[in-house]
Each structure stands twice: as structure tokens, then as C-alpha cells.
Structure 1
């Protein structure tokens, strides 16, 4: 599993499989928002939690179609499926690789970009906590969507339509936790609900992803 993870990380860097792409998109969205809604500090503070989470979600979505695409195109996916490594483990490794190259950079960059949206100082710890806890769920759900559409022509649009509704609960709880943190309220409840989604996705979706891969590899 370690060798597969390192291989996916190298492919992400060499082939442009999302490494840096999501971060650049995240930066562009955050920079453009003040031009669209105006430079009013009060307005930016009000919308900052939602904008940061929406931008992070869309940035994570950009590279999902490449999770299995490269392996499908060169035949490596069929070889991996016949290896001793179970497909459930392959699915989990793919999700971890996607999170390292996309979710982790977004999490680390979000507090810096929060300054551009005049995010309230008390919200920064909650922003880091929600992104660190929620982005693994985005990667795991995205890996499941990528497995469903692997091998399809122009499957990226279909995958987005399948994945986006599954992203909504994580988005709602993440933005709500940051908003409550900015207002000095308790944000433990949405954070725990988000944790339940993440751990549930990591526990269940590798099996669903493996089943989808087996169907598409027949």
C-alpha cells in the first residue's frame, strides 16, 4: 500500500493530477470574491465562512476525474486489481493520495486566504479544524464517484453531478462550525456531525468503491 501511495503522489506531481491546481483555483476564487461583492469589511466577514468552504469544495472537485483515469488509460488499474492488494485498500490509498495533494494544501492555505475575506480572528481555529476533518470525506466521496465513472467518455461532468449532492452535508456543517466560531458560539455540534460523516465515509465507501471498480473492470 505504501508503494501504491508513493506512486500516486509521484503521478500527481509529474502529470499534474491536481497537485497545485486545486490550490491555484482556491486562491483565484478567494481573490475574486471581494471584486464581486464589494470591499465592505462587514459583508466579507459575514460571507467568509461559506465562501471559504465552497471554494475548498470546488477546488477538491477539480482533480477527482484523474484519480483512476491514468491507471485506466495505461492498463495499470487491471493489473492492480489482480494484485494481492484488495481493491478496498486501493480505494483507500487513492483517497489518501488525493487528500495529501489537494485537501492538505487547501487546509494549510485557508487561514492565510481568510485574511483576504476579513475572516473574524476567533474563526481561524475552527476553519483549520473543519477543513482538516472534512476534506478527507471530500476525497473519499470523490474517489467513490471517480470509480463509478471510470472508463466513461466525458465522465467528469457525470461524476460532478453524482458527487456534489453527497458533498452538501459536509459543506453545511463545515461552514456552520466556522460561522459559529466567528460569532463566539459553540461549534462542537456541527464539528461532531462532520466527524461522523468523515469516519462513516472512510469506513463504508472503500467497499462501495471497490464494488464499483469490479463492475467497471468486467
Structure 2
């Protein structure tokens, strides 16, 4: 499993789906927002948690179609499906590789980019915590969507349409956690909901994604 994870990390970077592309898109979103809403720091500070979460969500979408596409094109996916290792484990490693190359860099870069949106200093830690808890769910949901569309020509748009509605709960509770933390309000509810979403996706979606892959490879 570790060898598969390292292989996927290497392929993700070499295929152009590494952290550089996601970070560049994240930066573009953050830089463009002040031009659209104005330079008022009070307004930017109020919308900063939501904007950072939307930017991270959209950045995660960029490389979803590559999760299984390369393996399907060269026949590696068929070999992985018939290998003695569980296909559910393969799916989990694919999601982990996507998170390491996309979700983790976005989490680490969020405080620095938050400064461009006048994010309150008290919210930096909450922003990193919310992304650290929520981005694994984004990667796992995206992997499930990629499994549903594997083998489809030009399935990138369909993948986005399938995945975006499933991202909404994570987006809501992630942004709410940062907003409440910055205002000194109780954060237990959004924190537990965000953690529950991530745990549920990690526990259930590898099995659903593996079943989808088996159906698509028939």
C-alpha cells in the first residue's frame, strides 16, 4: 500500500496535477476577490472564511479527473482490480495521494493567503484546522466521483456536477467553524459535524468507489 501511495504521488506531480497547480488556482481566486467586492477590509474580513473554503474546494476539483484516468489509459487499473490487494485499499491510497498533493498544501497556504483577504489573526488557526479536517473529505468524495466516471470520454464536467453537491455540507460547516472561532463563539457543533463528515466519507466511500470501478471495468 505504501508503494502504491508513493507511486501515485510521483505520478500526480509528473502529470501536472501536483500542489503547484492547486496553489496557483487558490492564489488566483484569493487575489481576484478584492477586485470584485472592493478593498474594504471589513467586508473582506467577513467573507474571508467562505472565500478561502470556496477557493480550496474549486482547487481540489482541478485534478480529480486524473485520479484514475492515467491508470485506466495504460491498463494499470485492470491489474490493480485483479491484484491480491483489496480494491478498497487502492481507492483509499488514491484519495490519500490526492490529499497530500492538493489538500495539504492548500491547508498550509491558507493563513498566508488569508492575509490578502484581511482575515482576522485569531481565525488563522481555525482556518487551518477546518481545512485539515475537511479537505480529506473533499479528496475522498472526489475519488468516489472519479470512480463513477472512470472510462468516460470528457467526463470532467460530469465529474464536477456529481461532486459539487456532495461538497456543500463540508463547505458549510468548514466556513462556519472559522467564522465562529474568529468571533469567539462556540465551535463544538461545526467542529463535530465537520469531523463526522470526514470520518463517514473515509469509512464508507472506499467501498462505494471500489464497487463503481468494478462495474465500469466489466
Q: TM-score range by the shorter chain?
A: over 0.9
Query: Would you say how many aligned residue pairs link Structure 1 and Structure 2?
Result: 218
TM-score of the superposition, structure 1-length normalised?
0.99
Structure 2 Cα separation of the partners of residues 175 and 18 of structure 1: 25
Structure 1 Cα separation of the partners of residues 166 and 46 of structure 2: 25
Shift of 1:18: 3.7
Instruction: Please give the residue correspondences for 1:55-204 in structure 2 after superposition, counting only pairs within 5 Å.
Output: 55-204=55-204
TM-score of the superposition, structure 2-length normalised?
0.99
Deviations 1:33-79 (A, max 9, x none): 11111110101011101000000000011110000000001111001
Structure 2 Cα separation of the partners of residues 206 and 26 of structure 1: 27
Unaligned runs of 5+ in 1: none
Deviations 1:156-211 (A, max 9, x none): 11111110000000000000011111111121210110000000000000000000
Unaligned runs of 5+ in 2: none
Task: Give secondary structure in 1 for the equivalent of 2:65.
Answer: helix
Across the aligned residues of Structure 1 and Structure 2, the Cα RMSD in angstroms comes to 0.7
Task: Give secondary structure in 2 for the equivalent of 1:176.
Answer: helix
175-184 or 130-139, larger mean C-alpha shift: 175-184
Structure 1 Cα separation of the partners of residues 209 and 145 of structure 2: 8
Q: Which runs of 4+ in 1 moved over 6 A?
A: none
Instruction: Identify the residue that residue 7 of structure 1 maps to in structure 2.
Output: 7
Task: Give secondary structure in 2 for the equivalent of 1:127.
Answer: helix
Instruction: Please give the residue correspondences for 1:14-53 in structure 2 after superposition, counting only pairs within 5 Å.
Output: 14-53=14-53
Task: Give secondary structure in 1 for the equivalent of 2:19.
Answer: coil
